[in-house]
Structure 1
Amino acid sequence: MTVADMIIDGKWRWPEDWLNKYEFFRDIEVPNLKESREDRVKWLTKQNSLVQFSTNQVWKDLRPDWEKLAVQRKLMTQDRIMKWQTNGDFTCLLCQRGVDSHEHLFFQCEYAMKVWKNITDNSPILSGNIGMFDVIEKIAAMKTQNNLAVVVSKLVLAASVYFVWQERNLRNFKKEERSVETLCRIIKDNVRHKMMSISVKNTMKVSSIAERWNLRWSNNSLVAIED
């Protein structure tokens, strides 16, 4: 089906069920078509830029901000489902103890706590902080600072929240599970790769942080240490 197939006598002919579901279709302006040109699929980005359609761009615009959803307690954990569904198993899928909730998942859960402690060993600022909301307050207090330690702390928090939530969903929907060691390796690799895209000056503190992540400074950036 082409755009031309959806227009008759200069008017849209949207299927009725489409209009009932997507009322904004009624407000779309009918384009001036030229028979000599083929249809081209465009995508309007979050920045209101009209670009050539690509699945990569769509994913960038539509993917959820997991860290923000977690902070706002909007992830669909089992404790939220309990509000309208009283029957069911609402036990944490990672440790099988406690109710699956934001507070439990980040990071009171035994599984998630082991992951968090392992990851934060590489981030002195976060070491010793167990609850996600305590960590957020600590990072927020340093919002005026833009040094590597603070940036890494943010990367560690974002990656930990994302992959712990991903692990929870893998167990819930696909019945697959990964060990603490495997998830820690995935999170660390994710943080390391993002650190390698940061431009930094060579200081003793930068070198110390880089070494914790098996990186080294070279030409104003961090690179992997070869085995």
Structure 2
Amino acid sequence: MPTIWQAWAPAKCRLLAWLFVQNRVLTADRLLARRWPNSYFCPLCMRNLETAEHLLVECPWSTALWFRVADKFGAASLRPDTWNLPLASLPSWLASLSALVGDPAKTAKSLALLVIWTIWRERNARIFRGSHRSPDVAAREVFDEAAAWALAGCRHIRCRE
């Protein structure tokens, strides 16, 4: 998937996104298929069975994070209300980011990987450490991390004031 491998992001973020696209992330639905014990429900909203698609694009907690990041960076393509839901698949959603061109596209692609990484980290923190953050706190983490990425060479990431 060119969007993932060509975006400016640390390797760990690109690898995680690639695992999501390949449906290889051990979300509750995959654990259930292997008959491994799990809590079944999305740890972010506690409403639905946790699937990769739910976790990244359908969960209300994740949706709130996507909106905050899209608005802060002026990346309209990251706003969930612009997505054609229900999504056929995560690869098609990421491919839609590939259709964008120029600096806004570079920003959207890199930020998408950062948001995916942040959602996954929040999910794991809730499961393994019992900690809970609001989407506002997670968004501030994304803004800080994006600023660090900009200092590290990701020059196209710029916040709208």
- Global fold match (TM > 0.5): yes
Q: How far 1:139 moved relative to its partner?
A: 1.5
> What SS is found at the alignment partner of 1:74?
coil
Q: What RMSD in Å do the two structures reach over aligned CA positions? A: 2.7
Q: How far 1:172 moved relative to its partner?
A: 0.6
Report the structure, 1 or 2, having the larger strand content. Answer: 1
Report the structure, 1 or 2, having the larger helix content. Answer: 2
Q: How far 1:189 moved relative to its partner?
A: 1.7
Q: State the match for 1:96 in structure 2.
A: 46
Q: How far 1:211 moved relative to its partner?
A: 5.3
How many residues end up aligned between the 2 structures?
Answer: 143
Q: State the match for 2:77 in structure 1.
A: 125
Distance 1:166 1:141 in 2: 28
Q: State the match for 2:141 in structure 1.
A: 186
- Out of 67, 84, 109, the position equivalent to 2:17 is 67
Identity between Structure 1 and Structure 2 (%) = 22
* Structure 2 residue 32 is the aligned partner of structure 1 residue 77: no
Q: How far 1:198 moved relative to its partner?
A: 3.8
Q: Unmatched 5+ residue regions in structure 2? A: 1-9
* Structure 2 residue 134 is the aligned partner of structure 1 residue 172: no
Distance 2:21 2:121 in 1: 16
- CA offsets per residue over residues 191-211 of structure 1, 9 Å max, x none? 2332342457xxxxxxxx845
- Larger Rg computed on CA atoms: 1
Q: TM-score, normalised by structure 2?
A: 0.76
Q: TM-score, normalised by structure 1?
A: 0.55
- CA offsets per residue over residues 139-171 of structure 1, 9 Å max, x none? 1223xx4x2211110111001100100100011
- Single out whichever of 116-125 and 191-200 deviates more from structure 2: 191-200
Q: Unmatched 5+ residue regions in structure 1? A: 1-59, 201-208, 215-227
